[in-house]
Chains A and B, each alone.
Chain A
């Protein structure tokens, strides 16, 4: 009976390879048993076969019963994380493309319309599909290779009423949107620093178009600078993720923040004292570009600003890192008294 074979094939092709043969054999003997009972030992007609197969139901339903449980591309255990990552990634990409667009317009304002069209079109043709595609693909791979292990993750495990988050106290609370915005911001800086080092400086324009850039950073030590920046920024992202998870200032969040910031501070101090990361020829290059004339009052002012700026930026960075710890301490222990 060819129809029986076709039915069995339709069921088993939806099952994992390892089960197919066994299920097929079992269905075979089941269908034979059912036919025998329905025809009471008489001749097996086409109609009888139809009856039996109809009784067994749609192959898809039967296969679903065999697989047991539901099939997910991304299961409920991963879904929340997936949505979080996707949200961040999408916001980052939109922000990045917007930044690139603004950048292009500044460099070349005449072509604003072309850039704008590219900007809009790229959302639908590349950026958004790519982000959604890869994020989904990554999570789907995890789901696929977890082979049902994820279902064993007991979401209630280790839960105790004492872990209940406090009702948000406006002082201690960290808004999730703030963390998201910060993460996007960090991602943008990372992308900018990694891919457009040559634009990180003073821009000079000639007849409305960018004619040259006097870099802030010493090109010889750019890679060290980049490494330092990336480490501090990556720490920043980790901190924001923690804030997103905790949603308020707690002792553990404070501990993590403090540790990360102390490491960052050590890095900053190390770089500040051992490396020359600022462009040593900054002033000369400014003169060459014709922005200031050597010996003029303007030159002296710019030189002062440059020296102060390069010094204070480190100080501000350090103050910022220290302040984050202090404000964390204040917010954590506020209201406990």
Chain B
């Protein structure tokens, strides 16, 4: 049983890794700072650790999908991230790809369910 849990944990980690990127990009059509993104994603059911998201945001910025700016006007300076033009393009394509994957997976899983009969 614990063996199965181990597998599930590993596979879930792999599954999440890709979805977090799409999830983060989807929320950045307006400027946001890291921690507010963590909160929003959590509210919408996507659990992500700040220790994962912050480095991810920097990587996406380095790749040119995001741009960033420090806001030093408030009491606490924060770094805000926003989709770049490339980022927007990438997101819209990823969005379509994601829908494809979801519908394909649904079809697969549902068909599988039918063949296996009840249970």
Contact = CB atoms under 8 A, between A and B. Distances in A.
Interface in B45-87: 49-52, 54-56, 58-59, 70, 76-79
- Name the residue in B49, B51, B52, B78 with the highest tally of chain A Cβ atoms < 10 Å from its Cβ: B51
Given A29-B76, A29-B78, A29-B79, A65 B51 contact: yes
Q: Give the secondary structure class of B's interface.
A: helix
B34 interface: yes
Interface of A: 19, 22-23, 25-27, 29-30, 32-34, 37, 55-57, 61-62, 65-66, 68
Interface of B: 33-35, 39, 49-52, 54-56, 58-59, 70, 76-79
Given A30-B34, A56-B49, 16 more contacts: A19-B58, A22-B79, A25-B70, A26-B79, A30-B50, A33-B76, A34-B50, A37-B35, A55-B49, A55-B50, A61-B51, A65-B52, A65-B54, A65-B55, A66-B55, A68-B59
A25 B34 CA distance: 12
B55 A34 contact: no
A71 to B, nearest CB: 14
Contacts of B51: 55-57, 61-62, 65
A23 B50 contact: no
Contacts of B49: 55-57
A30 B77 contact: no
A267 B55 CA distance: 61
16 contacts: A19-B58, A25-B70, A25-B79, A26-B34, A27-B54, A30-B35, A30-B54, A33-B76, A37-B35, A55-B49, A56-B50, A57-B51, A62-B55, A65-B51, A65-B56, A66-B55
